[in-house]
Amino acid sequence: MTPDNKQLVYQETFLEEMFERLHHHKVSQKDYTGLADMLNPIEALADSASLGLDFNDEPADFLRILNEVKYRGSDR
């Protein structure tokens, strides 16, 4: 099921305004549609992946993974 365009984070009009503000020119509507089609699934995936995380979980998890890699490397 494809989400309603109003629910999408990256809409063509948003990308057009952002691109013009950052780069001071416009690209074609087809390019904005392509960018939206590329970014929205990534946004949805990141959103669903982060549902179980609290604000402080990510840094702690990052440190845990670093420690696992560090100790795994010392066993070799």
Q: Is the model's pLDDT at 12 over the cut of 60? A: yes
Comparing 22 with 54, the larger pLDDT belongs to: 22
Model confidence at 23: pLDDT above 70: yes
Whole-number percent of the chain with pLDDT over 70: 75
pLDDT tens by residue, 31-66? 999 999 999 998 888 787 777 666 555 666 777 777
What contacts 12, CB < 8 A, 6 or more positions away?
A: 29, 32, 33, 36
Pairs from 15-20 (Cβ < 8 Å, separation ≥ 24): 15/39
Query: Looking at residue 57, what is its pLDDT?
Result: 58
Helices (H) and strands (E) in the chain — how many of each?
3, 0
Higher per-residue confidence, 58 vs 18 = 18
